[in-house]
Structure 1
Amino acid sequence: MVKRGYHHGNLAQALVEACLRLIEDRGPTGFTLSEAAREAGVTPAAVYRHFQGRDDLIAEAALQGYHLFAERMEAAYASGIPSDLQAFLATGAAYLDFARENPGHYVAMFESGVSINRSPALHKIATRALGVMEKASEQLSQHIPASRRPPPQMFAAHIWALSHGVVELFARGSPGTKSPYPPQDLLETGIGIYLRGLGILPPDA
């Protein structure tokens, strides 16, 4: 048997990497824990030294994904400072880039059914990562008159929904959903329309 992922003393990480490959190939419910063990090149019994079941393994993949995601989002936000608009736009672009570059992690985080409340560690890092988008939204929303300013959480949720929709429909190569426009252009123009509606960007000439 070829042990593609396993290195002595690093069995748990080898299993996570196997899990990520299987998620990309089959989705989060398309494999068993035994198949993850085979993918990592170990016996099924070895898995239970670290994980009680498939959901535990996927939760660890999500945890690692949120760490990567938080770092990506924080770096993107910082790259746009001191412009609130540029910081906001950078976080939207970073979301799309992360999803395209880390599809296994992305699915484990957002599409596996594993709750961020599964463990304190998962909740903490997910809150940190998603909080970047809320922070960017809150800062940008200060440019809207208070009388028509949406709550920051609603502002962030709208952008998150738009970003997630572009990822799901057009950025991951789903069958039958090819768009004539690049995903980044769809996201950028969609956010532009939203921000013009709020009066943050001037109307098109």
Structure 2
Amino acid sequence: MAKQGYHHGNLRQALVESTLALIEEKGPTGFTLSEAARGAGVTPAAVYRHFEGRDDLIAEAARQGYEIFADLMDEAYAKGQPSALASFQATGRAYLAFARRFPGHYVAMFESGISIQRTPDLNRAAQRGLGVLERAAADLSQRIPAARRPPAQMFAAHIWAMSHGVVELFARGSPGTRAPFPPEDLLETAVGIYLRGLGLLPADE
């Protein structure tokens, strides 16, 4: 991997960027702190000026990822307004788009084993991002009679699970998992089946 180096004293961010590149290349557990330091053009000892260790570095990469994720989800939700259905569908597409555009961040957030409770800032960023999907689910579920309406958190969790599954199996080019359909189509049809089951879409949509 080419040495990235850092400028203007921004060693902290250079280390995060080095970590993201290593996550993309080797996964969240496949690199050492020394490799992250080398990618930023510094010695391992220099890392400890800003981070306690590798997990701390990954947690910061995840925090930054959640901030980007939240912004993209917010933008998608707003573009779909005033239609609750359009906003809901847009957030699903934004999830896939984020996974494609920011694979290092995505892995740090969802596949590294780092708890979102690790730091208050990480938890705050995560709740903001995932909260957009929950808000979109809550808006859409208002069409369901109260007696049959699932909790918004459950509704959002189902869609999150479908989105994550499509990303893991088909959207990031995992070997041996090529699908004959675009990931966006897979997610849209799966969500459509789910919404029809809740009575939120007519049978022929």
- Tell me the TM-score range normalised by the shorter chain: over 0.9
Q: Which residue of 1 aligns with 2:51?
A: 51
After superposition, what is the alpha-carbon deviation per residue over 1:119-159, rounded to whole angstroms, capped at 9, x for unaligned?
Answer: 11111111111000000000100011122111111100000
8 Å Cα contact 1:58-1:108 kept in structure 2: yes
Deviations 1:8-66 (Å, cap 9, x if unpaired)? Answer: 31001001000000000100000000010111111111111111100000000001001
CA distance in 2, matches of 1:5, 1:99: 26
Q: 2:154 is matched with which residue?
A: 154
Counterpart residue number, 2:101: 101
CA distance in 2, matches of 1:22, 1:41: 14
Q: Measure the CA separation in 2 of the matches of 1:4 and 1:195.
A: 46
Q: Which residues of structure 1 form unaligned runs of 5+?
A: none
- Relative to the length of structure 1, the TM-score reads 0.97
Identity value in percent: 74
What SS does the aligned partner of 1:25 have? helix
TM-score, normalised by the number of residues in structure 2: 0.97
Q: Which residue of 2 aligns with 1:173?
A: 173
Matches within 5 A, 1:117-136: 117-136=117-136
Deviations 1:63-100 (A, max 9, x none): 10011001000000000110000010010100010011
Partner of 1:25: 25
Secondary structure in 1 matching 2:77: helix
Amino acid at match of 2:159: I
- Distance in 2, Cα, partners of 1:57 & 1:5: 16
Whole-angstrom distance in 2 between the partners of 1:27 and 1:196: 37
Q: In structure 2, what is the Cα distance between the partners aligned to 1:47 and 1:122?
A: 20
1:144 matched to 2:183? The reply is no
Aligned length: 204
Quote the Cα distance in structure 1 between the aligned partners of 2:15 and 2:134.
33
Distance 2:21 2:103 in 1: 9
Q: Which stretches of structure 1, 4 residues or more, deviate above 4 A after TM superposition? A: none
Q: RMSD value over aligned CA atoms?
A: 1.0
Which secondary structure does the structure 2 equivalent of 1:117 belong to?
coil
Give the AA of the match of 1:169. L
